[in-house]
């Protein structure tokens, strides 16, 4: 779930943010196409922030949890069945002030949510925090990287069945592993993950999900690669994907054989595997409000919802209905 994170793109982003242009573009585009499709649920919520990076459904609370980017914390959108609810801020992490909040994962079994924090422009700080779902008190805040370390861009997080957290580094293509109590336990690196060195590969390891069979699935945005990382051996293999997942951002595991890959264009792809993710096939695509830039996917009541980076006075979480790809087997 990365915002494009190299310094040139960051500068571009900054320019975009300080101008009123994106808001007016959004307003003019909203009057067309995707909003008018019937039988689909587009949740539009009021928000004061221009960028919202990730939204995940919290079933126990009946709400979407949203990382509020420059807000440096979390917000919630509840009342999801009424028109245009307002976002409510739940938590701001004071100890990482100045960093942005990015990927998040709801660890419902342990009654907590984990959030990634990153230094957007200088890439000199990275952390992951865990918070109680009932009152958003901090359980732990673990620094992953600081000014004395190599630059990094912590991006997204997944949690395994034992409560270990795995955080992707979109800049250095590694994965930090943090134990359930918050201790940094290892850093997973592999030549396979790092092999993309060409100048145009700016956003690396990004969306990550834990598969109940004991491995992580991780997407490399600019390489268009999907990797499978065994959580006990830390062995990395590449999933042989038929079809393109180039630009893949946030992931969601829908079932043991299906994941959703959010992206800029199309907004989401459905990817399926029948051999425990040694090979996979892109079987469907969904195009939502492209100008808002899809960044994350989540599942709610058997449906897929895609959240978007950019908004003005409102943000959109749209239901993804996939069109089958004719080339899919």
Ligand X SMILES: *[C@@H]1O[C@H](CO)[C@@H](O)[C@H](O)[C@H]1NC(C)=O
The Cα 119–Cα 140 span in angstroms is 19
Interior angle at CA 195, CA 194 and CA 200, nearest 5 = 95
Considering only 46, 48, 62, 95, the residue that binds ligand X (CB under 6 A) is 95
Q: Is 181 in the site for ligand X (CB under 6 A)?
A: no
Which position among 34, 64, 125, 176 is part of the footprint of ligand X (CB under 6 A)? 125
Which residues are CB-neighbours of 122 under 8 A, at least 6 positions away? 151
Q: Which stretch binds ligand X (CB under 6 A): 42-50, 91-99, 106-114, 261-269?
A: 91-99
Q: How far is CA 34 from the centre of its chain?
A: 22
Region of 77-85, 92-100, 226-234, 309-317 interacting with ligand X (CB under 6 A): 92-100
119 forms part of the interface with ligand X (CB under 6 A): yes
What is residue 9's three-state secondary structure?
helix
Q: How far is the CB of 36 from ligand X (least distance, A)?
A: 41
For 276, left (φ over 0), alpha (ψ -120 to 50), or beta? Answer: left
Q: Which residue, judged by CB position, is nearest to ligand X in the bound state?
A: 98
Residue 96 binds to ligand X (criterion: CB under 6 A): yes
Residue whose CB is less far from ligand X, 10 or 89: 10
CB of residue 188 vs ligand X: minimum separation in angstroms?
23
Decide: is 149 part of the binding site for ligand X (CB under 6 A). no
Q: Tokens 């673990």 label which residue?
A: 142
Contact 307, 317 (CB under 8 A): yes
- Phi and psi at 193, nearest 5°, equal -70, -30
Measured in whole angstroms, how far is the alpha carbon of residue 240 from the centre of its chain? Answer: 22
When asked if residue 222 is in the footprint of ligand X (CB under 6 A), the reply is: no
Q: Is 180 in the site for ligand X (CB under 6 A)?
A: no
Nearest-approach distance from CB 10 to ligand X, in angstroms = 11
| Residues contributing to the site for ligand X (CB under 6 A) | 95-96, 98-99, 119, 125
């Amino acid at each position: 779930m990365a915002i494009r994170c190299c310094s040139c793109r960051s500068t571009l982003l900054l320019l975009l943010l300080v101008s009123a242009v994106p808001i007016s573009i959004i307003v003019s585009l909203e009057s067309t196409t995707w909003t008018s499709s019937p039988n689909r649920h587009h949740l539009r919520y009021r928000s004061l922030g221009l960028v919202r990076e990730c939204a995940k459904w919290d079933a126990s609370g009946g709400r979407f949890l949203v990382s509020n980017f420059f807000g440096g914390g979390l917000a919630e959108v509840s009342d999801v069945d009424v028109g245009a609810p307002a976002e409510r801020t739940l938590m701001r992490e004071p100890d990482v002030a100045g960093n942005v909040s990015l990927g998040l994962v709801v660890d419902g079994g342990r009654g907590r949510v984990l959030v990634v924090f990153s230094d957007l422009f200088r890439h000199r700080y990275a952390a992951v925090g865990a918070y109680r779902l009932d009152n958003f008190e901090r359980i732990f805040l673990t620094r992953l990287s600081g000014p004395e370390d190599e630059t990094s861009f912590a991006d997204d997080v997944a949690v395994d069945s034992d409560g270990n957290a795995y955080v992707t580094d979109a800049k250095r293509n590694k994965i930090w592993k943090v134990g359930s109590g918050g201790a940094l336990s290892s850093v997973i690196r592999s030549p396979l993950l790092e092999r993309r060195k060409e100048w145009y590969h700016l956003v690396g390891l990004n969306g990550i999900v834990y598969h109940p069979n004991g491995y992580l699935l991780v997407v490399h945005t600019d390489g268009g690669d999907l990797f499978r990382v065994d959580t006990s051996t830390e062995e990395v293999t590449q999933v042989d994907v038929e079809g393109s997942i180039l630009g893949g951002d946030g992931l969601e595991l829908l079932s043991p054989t299906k994941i959703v890959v959010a992206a800029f264009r199309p907004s989401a792809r459905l990817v399926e595997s029948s051999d425990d993710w040694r090979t996979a096939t892109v079987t469907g695509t969904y195009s939502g409000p492209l100008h808002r830039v899809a960044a994350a996917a989540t599942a709610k009541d058997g449906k897929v919802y895609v959240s978007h980076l950019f908004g003005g006075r409102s943000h959109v979480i749209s239901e993804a209905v996939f069109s089958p790809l004719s080339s899919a087997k």
